[in-house]
Amino acid sequence: MTWTPYYRGNQSEGERPSAPVELPPLPPWRQARAHVPFEPPLGLAGAVNAALLLRRPLLLTGSPGAGKSTVALSIAQELGLGGVLRWHITSRSTLVDALYRYDALGRLHARQHKEDDSPERFLRLGPLGTALAAVDRPRVLLIDEIDKSDIDLPSDLLDVLERGSFEIDVLKRHTVDEVRVRLDVADGEDDVADDARCTIARGVVRGGRDQFPVIVMTSNGEREFPPPFLRRCVRFPMPDPDSDQLTKIVNAHLKDLDEETQAAIQDLIKAFAGRIGKPEVLATDQLLNAVYLVTREFPPEGDQREQLVRLLTKDLSSA
């Protein structure tokens, strides 16, 4: 039996299936609550422990797909720190957005309609604010692609981290000393999002110093950072994986591959490893996508297989 895709592109105009097509389950590494297997490169564990002991951010540099973001997930899972809070940086990202979000228009609308316009109803702490407000355990915060930020944001960020607290102006002017404010939602915590709140006294968010967040920052090397920023971080360069490491990653994510199948995909893994950084930009999950597709029960074969592998492992630096 040959590989049969769900979509064929030959449906006659006006025809509709009698029932929706049942699509396959997500691949294991795409499932939100799945355990994330991770093979740390040599030296990473030491850098992580140094960052934990010194309460300093861990700055990971390296090419896209080197596993930088996965480090934050691995730390959270191994230490039992819950879901990872994520702050994905763009050129428009601001520190205030990461600390809290205030819906001023929503509050104005409530006031005009004589509804409850208490400011806490229109506030939610952002990922950084939620991490700083933690009192029962440290939270893991992933600050992804910080090299894409405005030039002043890294310094502003470290100023807040040094103080370990921040103020919310609208609450400073509030007549109530203590309010309950919603927290940001971490990975895999959607079911508790509505109940997740913290108490803020007199407009100042100040978490317990013993619960200082575990902060992992990633950079693809698109810019240089000033020395004051770098000296406050524990820095670690993530190496590009070789074929042996890629094999371990594939086996960790796709545990159902037998020895014969593993041997059959070695050429695919070695070819992918040989292309990384020479000068192509490739991500590990591209390899996982390709391996997953060609090792299913009825995989594509011949020219169709080669075409799909090329499609899934295209250089990320080209269109």
Instruction: Find residue 206's DSSP bridge partners.
Output: 165
Asked whether 5 and 12 are in contact (CB, 8 A), the reply is no
Q: State the DSSP string of 177-227.
A: SEEEEEPPPPTT-GGGGGG-EEEEETTEEE--GGG--EEEEEE-SSS---H
CA distance 53 to 141: 16
pLDDT at 144: 93
pLDDT at 208: 62
Spell out the domains of the chain, with CATH numbers in brackets.
44-237 (3.40.50.300), 240-312 (no CATH)
Low-confidence ranges of the chain (pLDDT < 70): 1-2, 11-15, 32-37, 188-195, 208-210, 319
Q: What is the pLDDT of residues 133-160, one digit of tens each?
A: 877 789 999 999 999 998 889 888 988 8
Query: Directed axis angle between helix 284-294 and helix 302-312, to 10°?
Result: 160
